[in-house]
Amino acid sequence: MDMWTPFFRLMTELSARKWLSRAAGRLAGSSMSRRFIPRFARIYGIDPSEAELPLEQYPSLNAFFTRRLKPGLRPVDPDPDAATSPVDARITGIGFAQDGVLLNVKGQNYDVESLLNGSPRSVNYRNGFFFVLYLSPSDYHRIHSPVSGAIVEKEHVPGKVYPVNEFGLRHMKKTLSRNERVITYIRHDRGEAALVKVGAMNVSSIRYADTLGDRVEKGEELAMFEFGSTVVLLFEQGTFRARPDLMVNSRVRMGERLGILVDKHGAKQGR
C-alpha cells in the first residue's frame, strides 16, 4: 500500500453516497449529455459500428451507455450443455468457493452468505463455482441469462456505491458485499445459478428488462447497468465444469461459453 492509498480510500468513502450517484445519473440521463457521446466513445474506445443506432440518435449519454448491439454481434453458444457469459467483461475472480468463501478476489475473501444477503439459498453455493465479471465503461452493459430456466427468486439489497474497479476491489473493504445488489436465482435442468448484479459509483440504477417473465432462455436479456459495474455469477455445487483456459484477467463476451452444466455426479446435461 502506498502513502496515497488511505487518502484515496477516504475520498471514496465520502463519495460513495446514493445522492451523488443519483445526481450523476440524472446528468447522464439528460438531453444535455448527448453532446458528450462522441467524446465518450473515443475516450473508451467504443466501436460505434456495433451500436444498434447511429450515435446522433441516442437522446442521452445514459441511453448510449445502455445501448443494444446490432443483431448477431453476440452469438449465444447453442450447445444445451453450455453455460454462457451473461456480459462482456474481464474476469477478476474465478474458482470454487471453499466452505462458503470466495477466495482471493483482488486480494480479499468474500463470504457467500453475506454476498447473498443471508439468503437460505446460500447453502447451495458453499462449494460451488464462481466468476467475478467486471464491466468497464467501454463494455456492453446489458445482462443476459447464462442458462435456460425458471426465475425462482429476485432480491434487491440496498447498499453503498463504492467503485468496483481495481482500486475499489483491492483497497475498499468487502466492496461486493457492501454495495447495492440485485440478485436473480435461476433454476435450470441440473440445479441453480445465482446472478449478483453489483452497483457501483455513479450507477443510477440496475434495471430489470421490461419484458422479463418467470422463465428465461439462455442469452435472453435479464437486466442492464446504468454505468459500469460487476456481476458475480454463482453455480450450485456439483453442477458446473468451467472451461480450463479461463483465468483471472481473461476477457469474455456475452454468449461465450464459460463451461458446461453437469449433474451432481459430474455427467453432462442430458439432451
Active site residues: 88, 144, 229
**pLDDT tens string 198-233:** 876 554 467 788 888 899 999 999 988 876 588 999
Q: Supply the DSSP symbol for 205.
A: -
**pLDDT tens string 79-103:** 999 999 999 999 999 999 999 999 7
User: Which pLDDT does position 173 carry in this prediction?
Assistant: 66
- How far apart are alpha carbons 179 and 162 in whole angstroms? 6
Quickly tell me which residue has 439462455 as its cell: 218
User: Which pLDDT does position 196 carry in this prediction?
Assistant: 95
Under 8 Å between Cβ of 240 and 259: yes
Average pLDDT, the chain: 84
Under 8 Å between Cβ of 183 and 208: no
Look up the pTM and report it.
Answer: 0.85
User: Which pLDDT does position 107 carry in this prediction?
Assistant: 75
Please count the other Cβ atoms lying within 10 Å of the Cβ belonging to residue 66. Answer: 18
The SS3 call for residue 223 is strand
The SS3 call for residue 105 is strand
- How far apart are alpha carbons 161 and 180 in whole angstroms? 6
Under 8 Å between Cβ of 121 and 187: no
Nine cell digits for residue 36: 458528450
Under 8 Å between Cβ of 184 and 194: yes
> How does residue 271 score in pLDDT terms, banded at 50, 70 and 90?
very low
Nine cell digits for residue 14: 465520502
Q: Using alpha carbons, select from 226, 18, 192, 167 the residue that is nearest to residue 116.
A: 192
User: Which pLDDT does position 204 carry in this prediction?
Assistant: 46
Under 8 Å between Cβ of 161 and 18: yes
**pLDDT tens string 158-199:** 877 766 666 555 556 677 877 888 999 999 999 999 999 987
Share of the chain above pLDDT 70, in %: 78
User: Which pLDDT does position 168 carry in this prediction?
Assistant: 52
Buried b (16+ CB within 10 A) or exposed e, 71-95: eebbebbeeebbbbbbbbbbbbbbb
Nine cell digits for residue 175: 466492496
Distances (CA, A) of 104 to 114, 158, 179, 258: 16, 25, 18, 20
